[in-house]
Amino acid sequence: MNFSRPTLASRAVPAPSFGQSAASAPHSDTVAFQHPQPAAENRLEVRLSDERINNRVRELAGEINRTFTDSDPLVVLGVMKGALVFTSDLIKQLNMPCQLELVTLSSYGNGDTSSGRVNGSLDHLPDLSGRDVLIVEDILDTGHTLTHLTGALKDRYPEMNQLKTAVLLDKPERRETPFEADFTGFTVANEFLVGRGLDYQGLYRNLPDVAVLKGTTH
Ligand code: IMP
Ligand code: MG
């Protein structure tokens, strides 16, 4: 299969480019990821390396394993799309039986400023009464998404057992509504971040590092 991308000339942001297509590369378990060539108005600066994130995810999983000692199973509720990568990294390190569930919520439009509104449905979820639930989110920013989600889950399932939240990143300076996660990977500065599931206009989620996208307004 030829892995080609549309030309970038007409796009506002550069797309990540791969050094070689998976099909044409010599056999290898990985495909090299090259950071996009910076356009004049958009530059990537790595803030958290892939290795640093992997180490921290392992530590967080240890804390979570020590917290949910008798959940059978633990419901891991990943918030899509941003937390897809973190959720998948995290569940591999959890040592109790896990039931993976996903919700698709967004408080961001297609840009990089928060709308303050949270969209999404919980109708497809199984009954969470009596269950231990861990919400997994990519980043805690204004706090609207997790305030809305935890409130909506408690309203729907007043008999839920433990409800806790794990976030890869926390940007406390941006908070508009008070919220603290139970498990936090990294506290970060007020910069617009991409990579490790975080996107800008749908791109950069596959970058293994967390990086700052310079040139966006936030
Ligand atoms: P909150 O509702 O403002 O806390 O926003 C949470 C959501 O906003 C996250 O799940 C992300 O999808 C998005 N978000 C917040 N900050 C960033 C960022 O720096 N880069 C990319 N997405 C972000
Ligand atoms: Mg998100």
Query: How do residues 124-142 score in pLDDT, each as one tens digit?
Result: 999 999 999 999 999 999 9
Which residues have CB under 6 Å of ligand 1? 82, 107-108, 114, 137-145, 192-193, 198
pLDDT band at 20 (very low <50, low <70, confident <90, very high): very low
Q: How confident is the model over 17-36, as a mean pLDDT?
A: 44
Confidence check: pLDDT of 189 > 90: yes
pLDDT, tens digit, 9 for 90 and up, residues 68-79: 999 989 999 999
Which CB contacts under 8 angstroms, 24+ apart, belong to 152-161?
152/122, 153/122, 153/128, 156/122, 156/128, 157/127, 157/128, 157/129, 157/131, 158/129, 159/129, 159/130, 160/128, 160/129, 160/130, 160/131, 160/133, 161/130, 161/131, 161/132, 161/133
Catalytic residues: 141
